[in-house]
Amino acid sequence: MIIRRTPPHPIASSEITPESVYLNRRQFLEEAGLLSVVALAMPSDLGRSRVAQPQSAYPTTMGSDLRSELTPWDDVTTYNNFYEFGTDKSDPAANARTFRPRPWSVRVEGLVKKPADYDLEDFIKPYKLEERIYRHRCVEAWSMVVPWLGFPMADLIARVEPSPSAKYVEFITLNDAKRMPGQRIPVLQWPYVEGLRLDEARNPLAFFAVGVYGKMLPNQNGAPLRHVVPWKYGFKGCKSIVKIRFTDREPRTAWNLAAPDEYGFYANVNPNVDHPRWSQAKERRIGEFRRRATLMFNGYADQVASLYSGMDLRKSY
C-alpha cells in the first residue's frame, strides 16, 4: 500500500482557502488595497463572484494545462524558501506572521530614462492583473505548480525605458533585520540580490507576482511583490522587492556570492547538470510520493531556449 505523505504544516485543513475565495476577484483586491487601482482596467462583470464556474475570474494566459496539477494552498504557503525568515522550509510561515508589507515602496534606478520611487499601489496601477499557472522548481529537487497573480515584467521595462547601455536588471529585497529575523544571521550577504539579462526579463514568461491562488501574497511567499521566472530554479525569484536597478554589468547575486561553485548566475533548470551534492535529473512534486523526470528549462524550452543559443549550459549554469 502506498501512503501519501506530505510535510507537516501549521495550517489546519479547515484554514485552507476555499474555492469560492480563490475565484472571488473582488475579495483579493479589497485585501490587497488595489480595488480602486485596477477596477477601471477590467470589465465590470468580473467584480461578481463566479463560484459556479471552474476557471479563475482572472484571465489565464500561461499554464492553463497545468490547472489539474495545482499544488494545494497549504503546501504552497507553508513549505517555502525565504531565508530572511529562516532556513527551514516551515520557518517562513511561522516567522513572517507579524511582518507588515504595507506601506511599501519600490525604487527603480540605474540606466533607465524614467527612474522613480513608487508607492506599491502606484507601481501596480498601470497593469491589468492576470493569473499564470507555472511550474516552480527548486534546486533541492522538489517542485510545485503555483497559480500566481500579477503582470508581465516586460510591461514595467517598457514603462521605465532602459537606456541602450542597459544589459541587466537587478532585484533587491528589503534589508531590515527587525522585520526579517533571518537577516540577523549571516547565512547570506544581505540584502538578497538577484538579476536577469534584460532579454530574459523581457521574455513573456517573466512575471511580477502580487498574489497567489486569487489572494494577496502571504508574507512567507514574498509579500507584497516578488518576481517569478518559471524556467529557472526558484532561488532566482527575489521576494519582498524594494529596488529594481538597470545596469550594464552582470549583478553579483546572493547565492552566487555565497557558493559560486554551486550556484551560477543563470540558474536555468537543466537536468543534465547536477548540483555538486545531488542529482537534478529527477524531481518530486510536493504532496506526491513518486518522482518524475526533470524537464529541460522546467518544461518551457519552446519559449526560452532561443535565449541561450550558442551558450554552453554546462558552464553557464
- List pLDDT tens digits, range 30-75: 555 554 444 333 333 323 222 222 346 688 888 989 999 999 999 9
229 grid coordinates: 521566472
Average pLDDT estimate for 233-249: 97
- Measured at the alpha carbon of residue 75, what is the angle toward residues 74 and 81, in degrees to the nearest 5? 120
- Distance separating alpha carbons of residues 202 and 152, to the nearest angstrom: 8
Instruction: Give 86-106 pLDDT, tens digit per residue.
Output: 999 999 999 999 999 999 999
User: Could you tell me if residue 120 is inside a domain?
Assistant: yes
Give the Cα-Cα-Cα angle 17, 18, 22 (nearest 5 degrees). Answer: 80
Pick from 37, 39, 236, 218: which is nearest to 138 by CA? Answer: 236
End-to-end CA distance of the chain: 40
Scanning the structure block, which residue is given the C-alpha cell 531556449?
Answer: 305
What is the rounded CA–CA span in Å between residue 236 and residue 200?
A: 12
**250 assigned to some structural domain:** yes
DSSP letter at 278 equals B
The confidence band for 22, taking pLDDT boundaries of 50, 70 and 90, is: very low
Q: Which of 267, 130, 240, 137 is nearest to 183 (CA)?
A: 240
Looking at the 3D structure of the chain, how many domains does it have?
A: 1
Q: How many Cα neighbours within 13 Å face the side chain of 95? A: 23
- The verdict on pTM exceeding 0.75 is yes
Is the residue at 317 inside a domain?
no
Residues in the chain, how many? 317
CA distances from 263 to 132, 163, 172, 173, 311 (A): 27, 29, 18, 19, 17
**1 in a structural domain:** no
> What is the average pLDDT value for the chain, to the nearest integer?
86
| Residue 82 resides in a domain | yes
pLDDT-based confidence at residue 9 (cuts at 50, 70, 90): very low
- Domain hosting 208: range is 57-308
- HEC letters along 189-217: CCCCEEEEEHHHHCCCCCEEEEEECCEEC
CATH of the domain at 167: 3.90.420.10
Q: Identify whether 10 is part of a domain.
A: no
**Are 161 and 90 spatial neighbours (Cβ–Cβ below 8 Å)?**
no
Q: How far apart are CA 294 and CA 306, in angstroms?
A: 20
